[in-house]
Structure 1
Amino acid sequence: MSSILLIFLLQIILVPILSLRIIFVVKNMSIPASIFGFIEALIYVFGLSIVLSGEQSIAEMLVYALGFGAGIYLGGYIENKLALGYTTLTVNLMNKNMDLVSNLRESGFGVTIFEGMGKESVRYQLQILTERNVEEKLINIIEQYEPNSFIISYEPRKFKGGYLLKSMKKQLKRKANHIEK
């Protein structure tokens, strides 16, 4: 019975570590990815050796698989809470809502407005790049002003220049000056 609990616990730990390692690899963060890979390999070998040593119990194998599934759920939850990286929102509007744009800019978001021709009339599109950990806040602001907007969110792999990078450099400079004082 204790081996079954240990197997489940190992899987609950292993799979979120595996998920985070993959995320760090995709985000080109080699050092954390390597650390998580090392820990992942240790846990994997240890857990698998318990399952495959001696008499293979169907219960142990099922618990191994159940722990794997539960670990995937936990890994996704942890990744969403960490919200590493950036997201780009494309917001499609029927009207040019300058109150929304002003509020977004006052809240620190860089907003680019595009005008295009839809099937029957002019449409407006906002493009906003922001940190992932404030994506929900951004969507809530948009929905307050434009509840019927069409929003697409995607994660950019690389970007260079623009409002967001200038803003981040200013924040880092302010923090550095504050620490020196």
Structure 2
Amino acid sequence: MTLETIFGALIIMLMRICDVTIGTFRTMLVVQAKKYHAAFVGFFEVLIWITAMSYIVRHLDNTINLIGYALGFAIGNILGVTLEQKVAIGFSQVSIVSLHHTDEIVSKLREKNFGVTKLPGEGKVGEISIILVIIKRKHLEEVLRLVESIDKRAFITVQHSRPYRGYIHGPRV
């Protein structure tokens, strides 16, 4: 195996890492209905992919190129998800049920300037309150840490949220 062959496989792997990372990020933009951003990012994703594929098609006789392609795909997925989590575009709805600390959680969330809605509910043990918080995704870890610092046994769900209308806010400083 020559140095040129190894270098070619590494180039393919790097291009694949780039296009899959960008593709994962583009998918997140599509889900968030950011069509123009997704189109812009998609242009570069496909440009890189076509370049990598044209090289691979010309060098199909080198198995190491296929391995580089597959490795790049795998690593690109990891990096794409990591990037998506770091950028955290969009909103999440956090639903919280705490049997004994509802008012304290609501108070602390409001103290941190999160918009909180407290709804009445009924569970197996009787009346409960359901706390709803719609936040920018970048604040999710902060909200989860705050709730868990008060009630480690609170039931928490997190859903993707795409607000349709109205005022959504995060911490107001």
TM-score clears 0.5: yes
TM-score by length of structure 2 reads 0.90
Give unmatched runs, 5+ long, in structure 2.
1-5
Matching residue within 6, 10, 22 for 2:27: 22
Q: What is residue 5 of structure 1 aligned with on the other side?
A: 10
Does the CA-based 8 Å contact 1:92-1:125 persist in structure 2?
Answer: yes
Matching residue within 151, 160, 165 for 1:160: 165
User: Within 1, Cα distance between the matches of 2:67 and 2:32?
Assistant: 33
TM-score by length of structure 1 reads 0.86
Matching residue within 56, 62, 72 for 1:67: 72
Give unmatched runs, 5+ long, in structure 1.
172-181
Matching residue within 111, 129, 135 for 1:130: 135
Does residue 93 (structure 1) correspond to residue 98 (structure 2)? The answer is yes
Cα drift, residue 68 of structure 1 = 0.3
User: Within 1, Cα distance between the matches of 2:18 and 2:59?
Assistant: 24
Q: Which amino acid aligns with 2:19?
A: L
**Cα deviation 1:23-56 (Å, max 9, x = unaligned):** 1122111221111111111111110111110442
Cα drift, residue 105 of structure 1 = 0.4
User: Within 2, Cα distance between the matches of 1:86 and 1:17?
Assistant: 21
**Cα deviation 1:70-126 (Å, max 9, x = unaligned):** 100000000000010111100011135322211110101111111222113222210
4+ aligned runs moved over 6 Å, structure 1 = none
Does the CA-based 8 Å contact 2:101-2:151 persist in structure 1?
Answer: no
**Cα deviation 1:114-172 (Å, max 9, x = unaligned):** 1222113222210000110010000111011111101000111233224x35x79x88x
Does the CA-based 8 Å contact 2:29-2:35 persist in structure 1?
Answer: yes
SS of the aligned residue for 1:129 comes to strand
User: Within 1, Cα distance between the matches of 2:97 and 2:123?
Assistant: 11
Q: Which amino acid aligns with 1:35?
A: F
User: Within 2, Cα distance between the matches of 1:157 and 1:132?
Assistant: 11
